[in-house]
Every structure is written in structure tokens, then in C-alpha cells.
Amino acid sequence: MSNVLTLEIPISGMDCAECTQHVQHAIEKLPGVQSVNVFLATEKAIIQLDPDQVDIPHIRTAVQNAGYDIPASNSPQPDPASMGDFNRRLTVLLVSVFAIILSVVIFGEGLGLFDFLNDRVPFLLGLALVIAGGYPVFMNVIRAALRRQVISHTLMTLGVIAALVVGQWVTAALVVIFMRIGEYVENFTTESARRAVKELTTLAPQTARVERDGAEVEIPIHEIKVGETIIVRPGEKIAVDGEVVSGQATIDQSAITGESMPIEAASGTHVFAATIAKLGSLRIRTERIGVDTTFGRVVKMVEEAEAHRADVQRIADKFSAWYLPVVAVVAALTFLISHNPLSTAAVLLVACSCSFALATPVAMLASVGASAKRGLLIKGGKYLELLARADVLLVDKTGTLTLGQPRVTDVVSLNGLSRVEILTLAASAERYSEHPLAEAVRSLARDENISILEPQDFEAVPGLGVRAIINHQRIVIGNRRMIPTDGTLTIAAELESQGKTLLFLESNDQLVGILAAADTLRAEVPTALEAVRNLGIRHIELLTGDNENTASMLAEKLGVSYRANLLPENKINIVKEYQAKGHVVVMVGDGVNDAPALAQADVGIAMGAAGADVAIQAAHIALMREDWCLVPEVLRIAQRTMRIVKMNLAFTTLYNIVGLSLAAFGILPPVLAAAAQSLPDIGIMGNSARLLKQK
């Protein structure tokens, strides 16, 4: 059996979805290549191949024959952060130059200057200028023709040839100028969408200080070993995922969670790569490095989001492939009916297939990249489109709607003991218990500054409770099986009807108190669910393994339906049940127990996924912090993204129909047709850029 090797190689020269298709087809034809994914956003290809049949030189040759290149791995890459001002200035420059040239063209056409140049300048000199100016574009067209491919510049090149055939070299030269401007605009449009993704990679440090042989040594990130201790000083970025072994610092985790509020880190705190230590220094034991860190997995997931293309993007790609032959037919009919070569050239020049190809991916890339910087990881446009159409929301309870940590809600005295006395006895008896309810009791005592005494003769009874001696009193605290009570205890029945778990407290064989605990609902959940309803998801259902009482109380409070006593496989069946009825199902869970249901749902959203491998792998969307307000936020992002995509497609469709019609009827001359060809790309760029600045 042959070995399978996965290669990740950079590709330069791609500026639209059509380019990625050309590269993908060129590599797929090589023997030994099993699968190829080409990504426009990160300008790379991920290839699975048999190394015995194909290698990098073969791939490089195939890519170069397709009109693109594989740059050297050590080629300097521009810093995306430093490119922002340059790109803004370039935009102003391009628009200004375009406006000036367009004005000159309009006035020159009106004053007859172009006819004057055609008459006075030798045709061969004009032809040389056209060839020199359009040489790179013409070569791409020739290479594509040799591969039996038609690209967007093929039609414009035919328009240039048509203008030259009728002796209009000035028109051909101006068309070449607009072709080159259009090429720069397309590159700039794509690069603007890429920037949001590329900026993520600049957040990680490239070096770190490591303790080796009693000294601090600064080394590249890839040389750090798991288990080594790194030193982070105030204001520096943390280079690894790990556990703080000493020191204190305020950590800005916005690169991972999108949360602006920092956290306090001390010994035992787990920290993430690409976060910033402020107001303190730390020594951190390395647990993960490079691509294995939470930040590394975030970047990889965002980079590969293109692989999960939305259906609307696939439709646009197919339409783009058919569009050029349709334009060729329209041009042929124009010539047959009008016998006017300039009108025919104008039809070929005004057609803009790249705008169709860019309409969806530019918006998706902008949305995915901008969302990632805010702690919302979206695995691809496919899930944005599905989320925008969702009509059913299924929600896990423990750790998702609730904090996943029980808290004492009621302290009831049954024989005159004070609240402080009951909590003192209960917390002291539970001092060494590892049960979550014991921690809830101790936590409440600490919050109320109640002393926790040292117990004597401590005994934990699994599944029941504990026994201990406190101040010479025999203390027992546990459930009904540990401390049987008669059915006349009204307060106990009332608390249990509210879905709370009870702990009964005995002192010297006398029942003296009851403590009730419950898993606390996240404070923002009611508001977030109301926002979800306002966004069009009408059916919300709570899924939980808890009992009927607990589930019904919470469901009634939130105004949702529920199903209780569920196992993980039951949740999967419920997802399938809704899908069988034609619903688009969103499942929100904590990404651990709910991983199968998250994967089965049309869109699985994992809550609080920072540092959790299972959550990031199982879900289609990962919310890096535990904040329910992010659920309606990601819904809004999906709906807004799809509105932008539809606007892009509608605009470019209408624009091309109007342009082709005006050109076919001889109203739009070739020069203006070439100028008009670049405008849809600018419109798409401006419209999609709004997604980079979502509030």
C-alpha cells in the first residue's frame, strides 16, 4: 500500500475564485495526487499525494503551466498590520487615476482626439504599445488557450484584437490600460478580504525566553519543547499554551476569546499562546506549542474555512463558468445582426466574470476573518448560509444554559439554629469532601466569611454524604438515602418541586437544617434567547439529562419546550427528527458531552471552546468564551453576510445585463466598455468591506 503525504504549499498570483479552480484542476491531473484544496484567502494549496509518484518540482511545473507560481518558502512576506495604511492610500490612488483616465477618455472621444492619434501615429507603433502594455495579460490568455481554457481576460483580449482589426489602435491601447487597472482592482479586492485572515497570524510571537541550564535563552518558537519553562515579562506575548508555575500577571486574552476584559493569572492558571501579559511577569510550563496551541488551531481553522463553501458560492462558481460562453454567443449575434465590429468588441470588453466569482468568497472571507478576531470561529461559508436559514434551536442545559457548577440557593433552619451555625457545621463537615455539592457549601461559607472548622473522624459515604465530628457534635450531611425523612416535611417537598437538590443536616441524630443547591442559569440567557427569537428562530427546545422537575422549571422560566432524562444518543435522534421534517437545526452545547449532536446538527455551536479540542473539532462554529450573547451575535453576522452576498450577486448580475445590452445596441463604445468592466469589482469590495467593521 502506497504512503500518503499531506503537503501545504504557497501559491502566488491568484486573485479570484476562477484562479483557484485553474490551480486545483492543474494539480489534480498529476498522477499520484489524491485530493487538492486550494485556498484563495491564504494563497495556499493542501495536497494529499503519493510521494513515490509526484513531488514538489512536478507540482511547481503544473502550477506554472496554469499561469501561477509556488514562491520560495523563505520569501519575505509583507506584514498585514503595516499594509493597512498602504492599502488605503492605494485605494485612493487607484480611484483617482481611474477617474482621471475616464475623464480624459470621455472628453477625448467627444473632441475627436483619438481619431487624430489614429491618423497621425503609425499603426505599427500603436500595435507595439498595445502589445507592450498588455503583454502579461496576453500571455496568461495564450497559456489558458493552450490548456483549452477560457478566462475572464480572454474576451477582453478578443475585444482588443477586434479594435486592432478595424484600425483603432488607440481604442485597443486604452482597453489595455483599463485591463491593467481592472487587474489591480481585482488583486486589491481579494487582498482586502485576505487581510482579516492574515492579520491573525501576526498575533503570535516568533521567539520566547526559555530556562535552560539555569539561564534564560531566547529561541525561536519551533525550538521550544513540551515541559520546558518559559519566562514572560510585562507587556510581552505568551508563546505557548501552558500552566503558570509562578508569578502573577493580568492577561489580555482578546486574541483567543475576543473578550476585552483581562483575567488575573497566578500559579495553576492555564494560559494561551498569543495572549499578552500585563502588569506582571510569569513562569509558564509548556504544554502545547505552534499549531497544537489553541491559537494555532484557531488560525488553521480560519485559514481552511474556504473548503466549506456555501451552496450559493458553488452556484456562483458554476454560473461564472457558463457566463463566458454565453457572452461569446451574445458577441457573435451582435456581429451577425449589426455587422459592427466595435459593438462586438464592446460586448466582449464589458463582460465581467470575475465579479461573479468574487461576489461570494470576498464577503465570506471578510466575515470569517473579522469574526475570528472577536472570538467567533466559523468553519466556512457553508455554515454561515445554513445559520442564516435556521429555524430550530436545540440547547443543552448543563454547562451551556447554566454555569455547570451547583450553588447553594437556600439555607433552612429546622430547630432554631442560625444561618451562620448551619453553614459552619455543614461546611466544616464537608471540608475534605470532593463532591461538587460539598464545594458549593464551602464556597457559600467562604463568601459569607464563615470559618470552616477542622473535622474529626471524617468519613465520606459515596453517593450518600459525609459523617464527621465538629465541636464534639456528631454531624451527618447527605441526601434522603443518607438521612431518611418523613413525607410531612413541606419545605423539602417545595424545594424539590423547584428542581433543586437537597442536603439534609443532622446534629447528634437530630435534623437541624436543609441546604438546597441548584445549577445557576447564566444571567444573560433570557435576553439572548429573546434576541434569537427576534432573529427568526421561533422554536427553541431544551435538551437535558436532568429529571423532569428540574427541566420543566427551567423551561418554564425561559419560555421554551423541553425533553428530560436524555442520553447523548437521544439528543442525536432528536436532531435527526427535526431534520427529517425539513428544518434547519442549530445545536448549542458545551462541546464535550454534546459532541455527537453538535456534529449531526446542520450547524453545531460549541460554547466556551477556548482550549477545548473536542469543542473546536466537533462544532461548526466555536464560541471562544462562555457568553450567550454571542449566539444571537453570530446569527446576526450570518444573516448580514448572506444579505451582503445576495446584494453582490444582484448588483453584478444587473450591471452585466445592462452593460451587455448597451454594448450590443452600440450605445456603449469599446473604450467605455473596458472602463466599465472594472466597476463591479470596486462595488463588491466596498459592499463586502462593511463586514470587516461589524458592531
CB atoms within 10 A of CB 323: 21
* Residue ranges with strand state E in 435-500: 456-461, 465-470, 473-478
Rounded to whole angstroms, the Cα distance separating 647 from 689 reads 13
CA distances from 44 to 19, 139, 206, 307 (A): 12, 23, 21, 12
Rounded to whole angstroms, the Cα distance separating 604 from 610 reads 16
Could you tell me how far CA 153 lies from the centroid of its own chain?
Answer: 33
Torsion of CA 569, 624, 385, 530, to 10 degrees: 80
List the beta bridge partners of residue 473: 470
Q: Locate 339 and state its grid cell.
A: 455587422
Rounded to whole angstroms, the Cα distance separating 280 from 261 reads 16
Q: What is the DSSP string of 75-96?
A: -----HHHHHHHHHHHHHHHHH
Torsion of CA 271, 277, 280, 286, to 10 degrees: 40
Rounded to whole angstroms, the Cα distance separating 108 from 171 reads 11
CB 256 within 8 A of CB 274: yes
Q: Is the dihedral of CA 5, 198, 622, 531 positive or negative?
A: negative
Q: Locate 254 and state its grid cell.
A: 482578546
Rounded to whole angstroms, the Cα distance separating 567 from 577 reads 15
Q: Which of 15, 396, 519, 627 is catalytic?
A: 396
Rounded to whole angstroms, the Cα distance separating 679 from 685 reads 10
Helix axes 169-201, 294-303, angle to 10 degrees: 160
CB atoms within 10 A of CB 262: 17
Q: Is 15 a catalytic residue?
A: no
Could you tell me how far CA 17 lies from the centroid of its own chain?
Answer: 19
Ramachandran quadrant class, 221 (left: phi over 0; alpha: psi -120 to 50; beta: rest): alpha
Greatest alpha-carbon span in the chain:
117
Residue carrying the nine cell digits 492574515: 198
Rounded to whole angstroms, the Cα distance separating 452 from 458 reads 14
CB atoms within 10 A of CB 664: 22
Pure H helices in 381-506? 381-389, 419-429, 436-447, 490-497
DSSP letter at 236? P
Q: What are phi and psi of 604, to 5 degrees?
A: -100, 125
Rounded to whole angstroms, the Cα distance separating 515 from 435 reads 15
Nearest to 180 by CA among 684, 674, 672, 686: 674
Nearest to 415 by CA among 490, 514, 540, 344: 514
User: Strand, coil or helix: what is 692?
Assistant: helix
CB 644 within 8 A of CB 692: no
DSSP letter at 522? P
Amino acid letter at 392? V
Active-site annotation, residues? 396
